[in-house]
Amino acid sequence: MDNIDFIFSAPGKAILHGEHAVVHGKVALAVSLNLRTYLRLKSNSTGKVSLCLPNIHTFMSWDVSSLLPLRPSTAADPKDMCELDAVLVQRLHHFTGFPSEMPDTCAMAVLAFLYIYISVFAESRSLPSFSLSVWSALPPGAGLGSSAAYSVCLSAAMLSLRGSISSTLVGTELTKGWSKEELELINSWAFQGERVIHGTPSGVDNAVGTWGGILRYHAGTITPLSRVPVLRILLTNTKVPRSTKSLVAGVRDKIKKFPSVMHPVLESISAVSVTCELTLEEIASDPMPEHYAVLEELIDINQHHLQVLGVGHASLDTLCRTTLAHGLHSKLTGAGGGGCGITLLRPDADCSVVQNVIQELKDCGYDCWETSIGVPGDRSCPPFP
């Protein structure tokens, strides 16, 4: 265990098309976002395990001996687990004794770490001691899969440390060539972390964090697209808070009130997702300008549909209007009602135009990043010097 020092990273997630419609059995496309979460693990012989989460100002440390009694009697296979180990969750809640002033975000992140750590090493003779730091370029609570990227990194690190996935240490570098089965194991444990944090997640976010690229989600089935181009985008956070639960309920109410009107809208959103999927396959083979023009039209169509569903917002209208003035096309991503939006950038987009748009959006009070979607998923990399 001495001198083990490695880093994992996992991408965030955005919805390219299909938000809200996916709740009603339609097709959605989820994409990996090249704003990543990083985890660094350094082994030690102190008999302590420490967790440092600078993005949410959380640092905790425990004696390994105090954690041993919390372990379940047998190691669970996450692929066979229909629900969390409720007894273990209760033990961890009681053990941690979080102060009342600690935000739920911090408490849930700590619980997810302890749950995965103790569960993965349930049948080991002892618990390993190490320091673990996790930091992220993803803003928390923005619907960009920050908790899932965190859970994916935790799962990959713990499974590598235990030897459950094939990792080879070369000096201080960790190399990996994970099989489909190993990625499924990482994803299964990451889903458990998401369950600790969110209760009943869909599984899309952790799947994107594990496999990366673009995933098709339909009626509970997640399928990675085999041929995926990496697309440049602007990601804009309007910083307008919203309640996903309320927005989903509002769409459901509108469908009940106007079923003959709204069901065709949902079908059209699904058709946008399917058409986009076919267009992306064409771009992967032959990236012609007309293919990007199709993507831009689909973005405009879907944004109009989402406004019809009632999940638009004045801040998102400002985003779309500002970017369109420069010939760029935008839509909301996620729940809507504020939150985040994405803007497609063609490969030949003029850098000065992009920078002007970014500045105008920042002048509106928004956060804005130039990044990419369709990037690789969970990966290991050399430690920083």
- Pick from 219, 224, 198: nearest CA to 84: 198
Q: What is the C-alpha separation between 51 and 196, in angstroms, rounded?
A: 17
- Give the amino acid at 214: I
Q: What is the C-alpha separation between 379 and 10, in angstroms, rounded?
A: 7
Which among 136, 147, 160, 188 is annotated as catalytic?
Answer: 147
How many other CB atoms are found less than 10 A from the CB of residue 241? 10
Q: Which residue is associated with the tokens 């369109």? A: 324
Which whole-number Å values give the CA distances from 68 to 71, 72, 154, 175, 186, in the listed order? 6, 9, 19, 30, 23
How many other CB atoms are found less than 10 A from the CB of residue 208? 32
Instruction: Give me 342's structure tokens.
Output: 């994405």
Which among 205, 273, 315, 330 is annotated as catalytic?
Answer: 205
Q: What is the C-alpha separation between 73 and 32, in angstroms, rounded?
A: 37
Phi, psi of 372 (to 5 degrees): -145, 160
How many other CB atoms are found less than 10 A from the CB of residue 2? 6
CA 115 to centroid of chain Cα atoms: 19
Q: Could you confirm whether 315 is annotated as catalytic?
A: no
Helix (H) or strand (E) holding 181: helix 180-198
Q: What is the C-alpha separation between 130 and 78, in angstroms, rounded?
A: 24
Strands 28-43 and 221-224, by their bridges, are unpaired
Q: Could you confirm whether 151 is annotated as catalytic?
A: no
How many other CB atoms are found less than 10 A from the CB of residue 282? 15
* Secondary-structure breakdown of the chain: helix, strand, coil percentages, each rounded to the nearest 5: 45, 25, 30
Instruction: Give me 176's structure tokens.
Output: 């990996």
Q: What is the C-alpha separation between 188 and 180, in angstroms, rounded?
A: 12
Q: Which residues have a catalytic role annotated?
A: 147, 205
